[in-house]
Amino acid sequence: MNHKKNILVRGARVIDPASGRDEVADVFVKDGKFVAQLSAEEMKSAQIIEANGMILSPGFIDLNCRLGEPGRSARETFRTGTLSAASGGFTTVVTMPDTIPTADNVGTIQLIRELCDAHAVVNVLPASALTKQQEGKALAPMGSLKKAGIIAATDTTSGVQNNEIMRRALEYANTFNLVVLDHCQDSSMTEGAQMHEGTWSLRLGLRGWPRAAEEIVVSSDCVLASLTKARIHLQHISSAGSAEIIRRAKANKLPVTAEVSVLHLLLTDAALAHYDTRLKVNPPLREESDRAALIAALIDGTIDAICSDHSPCTSTEKDCEFDLAPFGAATLETAFSAAYDALVATGHLDIKLLITRLTTGPAKVLGIDAGTLTVGAAADFVLINPKTSWTFNTENQLSKSGNNPLIGKTFSSRIHSTFVGGKAVIADSKPV
């Protein structure tokens, strides 16, 4: 379908958290943007989509995913990764810089943008490394990287282990109005760790990963945010203690935001009872008390966004002893459906708040004009079927990776259609 085609979506429940809109209404698209109405002449050539019983929302924004390229195309490509994103309702994704080569220079960022222009079907916003080679020693050239098109900077799972370097990185990033994304892990406490430190790690004979390894860095990041006044976003928070630290930081008006991954809202460390390596993730799945605290923090706004934390691996990489398997799970395709089942179907929160944490929440973190149905905005939107039963399996999987731990699971809601700039990427839950 051509980008310039006029569209009328008729009869959907329209939810737009940015404007507070929640009503059954028609939505109009012209030249790839939302408009208040189409003229009689424009209606003659418009595509009409009957959406009774569906929910129309802004396209989702993912703050934390990996799309394989460059360097790891055996795991994922920009084509397969962004198709997976669209299938999960994401129209904008932030891709992490732990590529090969590391995205710590202008040349690699330019390569990523060229690959996206050629192959991506959703909007891809590249994040750069915070330090050169993500080694935590020397700062990456954020000024030139900002000009090259980065949206944020992060050392991903390496994390900056030196607080003086982190302070200077925050100050430097703030000069260019860049948000720093931080993976909160004190690596001196997690060497050799495989899963959450608790009853299940003892039962399974696996080295434990204490909550404190995360909470120490969350605490220091909040202190540094107070010192530098720079924006810092805490990635995939996993513990109740972390949520409470962030809650106090926000009460003190610190420029701190946070996200939680879908898997941490859905599952606990008990899911590892059979040593499923697809559930070996970083940070690890924790206990039910942590999951409950994360949901509470999501509801009260302590946690701003839900992310996919899509980290694709090949089936071969994961097909080994638990200790040897890499961390990561591929989750883009199932992110919305899993979040819906974990939060809405269980009565923890309503669909409007879930959509908020997938749209305006992440948009505010990045400071971008996205995640809205406002007239004049790019027509990035999704149609959700909130009452359908479907089973995710390898036959309907779009990701190139083989490490989605929810293969075989039946969900109660599904993304029906995804539009990017007024162009259908997913229709009737299939690629266009």
Q: What is the pLDDT of residues 188-197, one digit of tens each?
A: 999 999 999 9
- CA dihedral (197, 199, 204, 209) in degrees, to 10, reads 0
The mean per-residue pLDDT over the stretch 408-430 comes to 97
- List, in sequence order, every residue forming a beta bridge with 9; answer none if it has no partner: 27, 49
List active site positions: 309
All residues at 6 or more sequence positions from 304 whose CB lies less than 8 Å from its CB, including other chains: 257, 258, 259, 357, 361, 362, 364, 365
Residue 118, both tokens: 């050629």
DSSP output for 10-23: EEEEEEETTTTEEE
Please answer whether residues 136 and 217 qualify as being in contact, where contact means their C-beta atoms are separated by less than 8 angstroms.
Answer: no
For 59-366, CATH number?
A: 3.20.20.140
Each residue's pLDDT tens digit, 33-72: 999 999 999 999 999 999 999 999 999 999 999 999 999 9
Instruction: Give the three-state DSSP class for 339.
Output: helix
Each residue's pLDDT tens digit, 264-317: 999 999 999 999 999 999 999 999 999 999 999 999 999 999 999 999 999 899
Task: Indicate the helix (H) or strand (E) that contains 414.
Answer: strand 414-420
Each residue's pLDDT tens digit, 109-118: 999 999 999 9
All residues at 6 or more sequence positions from 77 whose CB lies less than 8 Å from its CB, including other chains: 67, 68, 69, 119, 400
CA triple 237-240-244, angle to 5 deg: 90
- Which amino acid appears at position 344 of this protein? V
pLDDT band at 5 (very low <50, low <70, confident <90, very high): confident
Q: What is the pLDDT of residue 14?
A: 98
What CA–CA distance (Å, rounded) separates 432 from 429? 9
Residue 4 reports pLDDT greater than 70: no
Fill in the DSSP letter of residue 109.
H
Q: What is the pLDDT of residue 159?
A: 87
- Across the chain, what does the average pLDDT equal? 96
In 3D space, the residue among 51, 46, 59, 50 whose CA is nearest the CA of residue 7 turns out to be 46
In 3D space, the residue among 60, 5, 52 whose CA is nearest the CA of residue 26 turns out to be 52
Count the alpha carbons within 13 Å of 26 in the hemisphere toward its beta carbon. 14
Residue 407 burial (C-beta neighbours within 10 Å; 0-12, 13-18, 19+): middle
Q: What is the pLDDT of residue 191?
A: 96
Residue 2 reports pLDDT greater than 50: no
Fill in the DSSP letter of residue 275.
-
Helix 212-228 vs helix 240-251: angle between axes, to the nearest 10 degrees? 10
Each residue's pLDDT tens digit, 355-399: 999 999 999 999 999 999 999 999 999 999 999 999 999 999 999
Residue 189, both tokens: 């406490």
Each residue's pLDDT tens digit, 110-151: 999 999 999 999 999 999 999 999 999 999 999 999 999 999
The residue behind tokens 């050239």 is 141
Count the alpha carbons within 13 Å of 115 in the hemisphere toward its beta carbon. 23
Each residue's pLDDT tens digit, 328-342: 999 999 999 999 999
Please answer whether residues 325 and 266 qualify as being in contact, where contact means their C-beta atoms are separated by less than 8 angstroms.
Answer: no
Residue 1 reports pLDDT greater than 60: no
CA triple 350-355-360, angle to 5 deg: 130
Q: What is the pLDDT of residue 88?
A: 98
What CA–CA distance (Å, rounded) separates 299 from 294? 9
Residue 222 reports pLDDT greater than 70: yes
Please answer whether residues 67 and 73 qualify as being in contact, where contact means their C-beta atoms are separated by less than 8 angstroms.
Answer: no
DSSP output for 198-247: SHHHHHHT--EE-THHHHHHHHHHHHHHHHH---EEE-S---HHHHHHHH
What CA–CA distance (Å, rounded) separates 130 from 357? 26
